[in-house]
Structure 1
C-alpha cells in the first residue's frame, strides 16, 4: 500500500453526499467529590445529578453511538447523588440500547464505585484504588471554638430531633446511635446495588468485600469488583478499532474553572463554610493518598 493509499484509508468515506465518519464511543468524565452542593467544593471538581446531566445527555445523543464510557475518578460523597447519577446512566443506556463501560482512574471508591457499577463492564488500571463499599459521615465539633471566642449558640426548634448532631453543641450518644442506624440502612442499599450490578462476578469467598476496604485494580479484578485491567484507549481500541472517542465533560461556570469557587458565597463572607468544605474535600481524597 502506498503512502497515498494509507492516508486515504484513514479519511472519512463519502457515500453519496454524506460523510461516513464511522462509529463513536462517547466518554463522560465523572471526576470529583460527589456532593449535592458543588459551590465551595471546587478545587478538584465536584459531581451531582444536575452538573452531569448535560454531559450524559450529549454522550448518549450521538447518532453513530456504539458504546458509552464512564471515566470515573472520585473518592465518593453523597449517596443520594451517587444513586441519581447511576440511575440516569442506566435509564439512558436502556433507551439507546448501547453498552456502558466504566474506567476507574486514580480512585473509584465509595460513591465513586457506585457510579462505576452503573456500567455493564468495569475496567481499572492495576494501580487504581477501587472499592470502599461502606458509608461514612464526618464533620467538625466546634463547641470549644465557640467558648474560646465567647460566641453563644442560639437554636429554637419544635421537635426533639430537629437539631441532631449540631456541630456547635456537644455530641449526644442517642444522636450517634440514630446516625449509626441510618448508616447501616444506607450500607445495605449500597451492598444491594453492587450485588445487583455485579452478580456472580463477585468473589464468593471474600468476607470483607462490603467492609469498606479499598483494593488496587489488580486485586479488585481477583475479587470480581472489576472485569478487566486496561485504559480507555487500550480497551476501546481493541474492541472498537474504527471508533472515534468523543469526550463529554460536565459544564462548569467560569469561576469554577478558574478555581474561585462560589462567588456568591465569597461575597456573603461565608469564609468558614468554604474553609470547612475545602477541608472535607481534602480529607476525602487524602484517605487514598491523593
Structure 2
C-alpha cells in the first residue's frame, strides 16, 4: 500500500543546509570569501585600536604641553593678603631659567600685586654670571626703595654661593638652614690650554690678528705675562664690585674676617655667626612667622614650551661649547 504522506514544510526547514565539501564545485570561492571577510573584520578592528591609541597619545601630549607652558603659577589665587614667592634655582645665566630678565619680571609682579604683604626670594644656586647677578641685585634694591612697606627676604635652600649670594645680599634678611652652603665671595675665569698637546701631535695653530691682543686667552696659543696680568686685573675689579655689593647689603651685620671675601664658603650655621645670614628658617616659616601672611602665591616666571625645547634640544649647547673654546676663558661667580 502506497504511503501518501505529505512532506511537512517545517520539518524540511529544520534540517540544516548541507555544507559544501571540498569535492563540490565552487568551494574554493566560498573559502576565499570567508577568508576575505575575516581579513576585513581584522583590519577594521586594527583601525579602531589605532584611532584609539592616537587619541590617547594626543591627550598625553596636550596635557604635557599644558603643564610645560603654564606660566601663570598661582597668580590666579592672589585675591587676599599673601606672601609673594619668587624662585631662583640653578646656574645664573642669560640663557638659563635663572636669568635676570625673568627674575626681575617676577619680582616686579610680586611687589606690584595689591595683596602682597612681603616677598620671599627662594634661592638654590651655585652662582653664575656676574652681570646677571648684578642686574638682579640692583633691581631688588630699586624695588625695596620703591615699595618700602614690603620687605624682601631671601630663603636659602641647599646652596646660595657666589652669584647667588651676590643677589641675596640685596635682601632685607637672609634665612638659611643649618646645613645650607653659603658664601664663596669670589670671581673666577676658567678655560683650557692645548699648546702642549699640539706640540706633541705636531699641530700648528694658524691664526692671524689685526690687533696685538685680539687672540687674548686663545686656548691654542701660549699664555703671556701680559695676558695673565690683564686677566687678573679684570678679576680683581669684578671681585671688588662683589665685595662692595655685599658690604652695602649686609652693612654692620657682616663680621669681616681675613677669609670672608676669599672665596671660601660655610655652612648655614656658620654663616649666621659671620653675619652672612640672619637666622634659620624655611619658606613656610618666614611666610607664617615673619611676614605673618602664610598664604603663598608663586610669581616666578616659568619657561614657555618653546624656550624649554630650545634650551634642551636646540643648538645652544653646541654653539656655547664652541664659543667657550674660542674664548678660552669664561668669567663667572662660582
Length-normalised TM-score, structure 2: 0.67
Compared CA separation, residues 241 and 51, structure 1 to 2 (3 A)? closer
**Would you say 1:230 and 2:281 are equivalent positions?**
yes
Measure, in 1, the Cα distance between the counterparts of 2:312 and 2:180.
28
Structure 1 residue 57: Cα displacement: 2.5
1:208-262 C-alpha deviation (Å, 9 max, x unpaired): 1111110000000000000101101012111234442112223324366469525
Q: Quick check: which has more Rg, 1 or 2? A: 2
Structure with the largest fraction of strand: 1
Counterpart selection for 1:128 from 154, 164, 180: 180
**Would you say 1:210 and 2:261 are equivalent positions?**
yes
Structure 1: gaps spanning 5 or more residues: 1-18, 39-44
Measure, in 2, the Cα distance between the counterparts of 1:51 and 1:105.
20
Look up the match of 1:12.
Answer: none
The aligned length equals: 253
Measure, in 1, the Cα distance between the counterparts of 2:198 and 2:98.
32
Look up the match of 2:29.
Answer: none
Measure, in 1, the Cα distance between the counterparts of 2:311 and 2:204.
32
Compared CA separation, residues 209 and 106, structure 1 to 2 (3 A)? same
Question: For 1:269-284, what aligned pairs fall within 5 Å after superposition?
Answer: 270=319, 272-273=321-322
Look up the match of 2:90.
Answer: 32
Report if the CA contact (8 A) 1:73-1:112 is conserved.
yes
Length-normalised TM-score, structure 1: 0.76
| 1:108 partner SS | strand
| 1:57 partner SS | helix
What is the RMSD of the two structures over their aligned residues, measured on CA atoms?
3.1
Structure 1 residue 58: Cα displacement: 2.1
Look up the match of 1:50.
Answer: 101
1:110-132 C-alpha deviation (Å, 9 max, x unpaired): 11100101111111111110001
| 2:259 partner SS | coil
Structure 2: gaps spanning 5 or more residues: 1-76
Q: Segments of 4+ in structure 1 off by > 3 A?
A: 19-22, 142-156, 240-243, 255-260, 269-276
